[in-house]
Structure 1
């Protein structure tokens, strides 16, 4: 019965999309393993400069940002968000109550022009760190639950998501917990240091994605099951319109390899809860037309995923519940 119910949910979700084209299902799988005892690679970012690409960089549960140095070295420490963080106390911790001491970075985004890495941390807000890493500098604090960040490639403005005004990540697993609609979508201007609230009343979570031409931002609502398009320029500037609805708990959205396309990480059945969660990657265009759906259910069985990041023809998949980043190729 659980399997039939799950398939019905998936069919219902896919039937809401305008068009589905399947091409290349990324059937080859490998892992980028975290160091022993380290978990929750929820984000990925690649640093591109000249003709080189570094990474992925990823954030982990114990408060570090780590950098992949190839299969012979693996992941190494790059940066951290908590001032006074103790490696002895924090490295490898899985205690959620250590977040205020160790940090809990959730999302990463590079500015390719400056090589600055912007970080969204649950407890320490919006931060930035230079190409040599180390302690990140807080740009804006006082938030409850930052979950996503992305840089406008044209203007350098930084867009980020705050899941809630009332709860943080430690509350989510408590008995009787319920999500609310106090999430916000914000913008940080690196020149003026000003933060503006662009949207409020969101059913929180996820991470925004700015279009390559800087004309709009896609804003997911993890528990609202929808994705909106917030216009930055043109006659609809500073207005939002619904792009996709009933899309299965969309988490972070990332630009795809093709111009004008995006990948969304979906966890079908997460909220409202079903007996089985199906993790999917969905590629779609700026008009909300779904072009491809890829299932990660074999390697991420019954797990929520937070990220599907395309890089050099491969998909990098992150989850709070693994000790590796999944890499899929055709």
Structure 2
């Protein structure tokens, strides 16, 4: 009798676990035949979220209303001409937002557009203003990650490659290209500065909550570097961790000192085992959450925590995913 009860209890617990997991995950399909909600941002109101998609649009998601247009990288971005496959094929005309982040003091949304450069969208939304498409006289070919220092408003962003365009990302990875860079844009001086060069697939970056350092992922090298902004090591960099496989975007978790990293295992046949990996300020892995059952073997590009939920983005998938923690 005791063993029978135990079996029933285990089965019930297993069923509840399955139900709980299913109930805690939500899909938010991208409208307008657009795809690839690659990164997320949250404004100071804490209502809804923002994400950039193919064809050069920034959507805002409002609870109870769904996705609404918020910003456009180019005039073409607003049109149906940039929907679907055409928007992907003509990203040099439509734009392709990659990293996005708010300056919560000004309400401006900064965007690293993969082919078209660094942009900013005013607090009320609308068309983006191009800030820069080059640094030190060299054009950006493939921007990717972006973050805003919460203490100063300085913008940090990366280029995945300085030799390959977004359409040639597979070639960049296969050739182990190491021409990526980390940049700084100071809004008060309106100047873009190169901080690091020789990075291997620099996909994401994140500033620490106290503004003392910025982390930079190297997707191709399976490495994360730390660049010191303040303190005795200011202006220097070091290896931070090799414990995260093929890291993409990195996002700080409030003022906790921890970070979420989007990770996959890159193979000759493509990415597999997409995961959300939590690390601390010493580079130690604290938690790993597999999202393969929810996203399949796709390239998960960002994991961003906000008010007890994980927002998971992809480079080319048709939906954003939200997991209740």
Deviation at 1:94, TM superposition (A): 4.7
Can you give the 5+ residue segments of structure 1 that lack an aligned partner in the other structure? 1-24
Whichever structure has more helix as a proportion of its residues is 2
Query: Could you tell me which residue of structure 2 aligns to residue 5 of structure 1?
Result: none
1:259 counterpart SS class? coil
1:272, 1:34 → 2: CA distance? Answer: 28
Alignment of 1:95-114 (within 5 A): 96-114=88-106
Deviation at 1:178, TM superposition (A): 2.8
* Distance 1:174-1:242 versus aligned 2 partners, 3 A rule: closer
Q: TM-score, normalised by structure 1?
A: 0.86
2:99, 2:255 → 1: CA distance? Answer: 22
Paired residue total: 301
RMSD between aligned residues: 2.2
Structure 1: which 4+ aligned runs deviate by more than 6 Å? none
Match of 2:153 among 147, 151, 156: 156
Tell whether 2:119 aligns with 1:127. Answer: yes
Deviation string 1:228-277 (CA, Å, 9 cap, x unpaired) is 11111111111111111152110000011451110000012xx3435760
Larger radius of gyration: 2
Tell whether 2:56 aligns with 1:67. Answer: no
Match of 1:58 among 41, 46, 51: 51
Alignment of 1:1-330 (within 5 A): 28-48=24-44, 52-70=45-63, 72-85=64-77, 87-94=79-86, 96-141=88-133, 142-173=139-170, 178-257=175-254, 259-268=256-265, 271-273=266-268, 277-330=272-325
Query: Could you tell me which residue of structure 2 aligns to residue 15 of structure 1?
Result: none
2:171, 2:284 → 1: CA distance? Answer: 37
1:171 counterpart SS class? helix
- The answer to whether the 8 Å contact 2:71/2:127 transfers is yes
Deviation string 1:129-183 (CA, Å, 9 cap, x unpaired) is 1111111011111310000110011111100001111111111356996341000
